[in-house]
Amino acid sequence: MTQPVKRAYKYRFYPTSEQAEELARTFGCVRLVYNKALDERTRAYALQGRRVSYVESSAALTAWKRTPEPAFLAEVSSVPLQQALRHLQAAFANFFAKRARYPTFKSRKKSRASAEYTRSAFRWRDDRLTLAKMDQPLAIVWSRPLPQGAEPSTVNVSRDAAGRWFVSILVEERISPLPPVETPVGVDAGITALVTLSTGEKIVNPRHERRDRRKLAKAQREVSRKTERSNNRAKARLKAARVHARIADRRRDFLHKLSTRLVRENQVIAVEDLTVRNMVRNHRFARAISDASWRELRSMLEYKAAWYGRTLVAVDRWFPSSKLCSACGALAGSMPLTIREWTCACGVVHDRDVNAAKNVLAAGLAES
């Protein structure tokens, strides 16, 4: 049975000079509105002990447009500015619900440059997308088609640190679940092997960051040698950002292919509930753990399993998967990471990672 889901399709596009100027102005206004609203909310709570609502922030935005200093806010589309206030409202809701930290100010250099347009702020006609305040449609590279008859509900335009422009189109799509299969699999995350499956297969970690480490280090040295706020420094920073983008793109592509394969081939997927945020505090392994990107793989498995009718089970992080014998159930003693193979009292010789994957699968099936 098909089920409707919200799905975003991301494409690269090449704006004209006028479109790039308009979008850059919009990005700046979005950042300014977000920061001003956050500042007012913070002061209201600190001085008066009250919470500012979205309605009050929206009324303040109208007042800002009528004052001389930020009057330029009226020159861009009002929808991305309202969406910035909604995002801030959601950030505060997550903070008060203890799901996230206190919202922080957006930085011109570090924050992602983006603007969100709802249905009233763009025109979709004959598969051509035209944003508010623009006369021409965006020159989008359609790397894959949108679903037949899909109508975009939200459009997010962004520019990454490497200077590339992207548009993310949100549509409602009906996805048919995959045919059921009998195969379950346990997945043990690692560094040498990115994942080890309960079948005994080990998928090697491509180590994308390590492969380009020299190139990245050279680009970062070039940045540090340039004069602050100079054009040469900006050019060097752009080169370094392109190396970072290449690493991230290759990593994401590999994880998409891996997660799709696991979801297609298995009905139940059992994984460890790892706290990557705490694990990267270990400075000895932080770089390798970040390069492996376990959290991104877990996220992909979650939404793809939901789309295609599979079951993803997260096993408790304290479950002793590596020290437990998958044959007899005996629990071994202390086992440092240097031990890659061990022999149980029952005589079975275990590969540490394969044994852990088998135990993760057994625990996941017991939970599900």
Taking the C-alpha atoms of residue 205 and residue 210, their distance in angstroms, rounded to an integer, is: 11
Residue 233 near residue 226, CB atoms below 8 Å:
yes
Helices 213-225/231-265 angle, 10° precision? 150
Taking the C-alpha atoms of residue 257 and residue 252, their distance in angstroms, rounded to an integer, is: 9
DSSP assignment of 268-285, as one string? EEEEE---HHHHTTSTTT
Confidence of residue 1 (pLDDT cuts 50, 70, 90): low
* Tens-place pLDDT, residues 211-250: 888 999 999 999 999 998 899 999 999 999 999 999 999 9
Higher pLDDT, 161 or 278: 161
Using the predicted structure, report yes or no on whether residue 159 has a pLDDT greater than 90. yes
Confidence of residue 16 (pLDDT cuts 50, 70, 90): very high
pLDDT attached to residue 185? 96
Taking the C-alpha atoms of residue 172 and residue 152, their distance in angstroms, rounded to an integer, is: 8
Taking the C-alpha atoms of residue 331 and residue 311, their distance in angstroms, rounded to an integer, is: 28
Confidence of residue 305 (pLDDT cuts 50, 70, 90): very high
pLDDT attached to residue 336? 84
Catalytic residues: 188, 272, 353
Taking the C-alpha atoms of residue 215 and residue 159, their distance in angstroms, rounded to an integer, is: 23
Q: What percentage of the chain carries pLDDT values higher than 90? A: 70
CA-only gyration radius of the chain, Å: 25
* Tens-place pLDDT, residues 66-111: 888 887 899 999 999 999 999 999 999 999 999 999 999 999 888 8
* Tens-place pLDDT, residues 125-137: 988 999 999 999 9
Residues 4-28: what's their mean pLDDT?
Answer: 95
Higher pLDDT, 131 or 175: 131
pLDDT attached to residue 286? 82
Using the predicted structure, report yes or no on whether residue 288 has a pLDDT greater than 90. no
Average pLDDT over the chain, rounded to whole? 92
Q: Would you state the structure tokens that stand for residue 320, as one six-digit string?
A: 């002793």
Among the ranges 27-41, 102-116, 183-197, which has the highest mean pLDDT value?
A: 27-41
Confidence of residue 285 (pLDDT cuts 50, 70, 90): confident
Helix, strand, coil proportions of the chain in percent (round to 5)? 45, 20, 35
Q: What is the amino acid identity at position 87?
A: H
Using the predicted structure, report yes or no on whether residue 368 has a pLDDT greater than 80. no
pTM over 0.75: yes
Residues 162-171: what's their mean pLDDT?
Answer: 96
Task: Give per-residue burial for 112-126: e unless 16+ CB within 10 Å, then b.
Answer: ebbbbbbeebbebee
pLDDT attached to residue 215? 92
Paired with 157 in beta bridges are: 115, 167
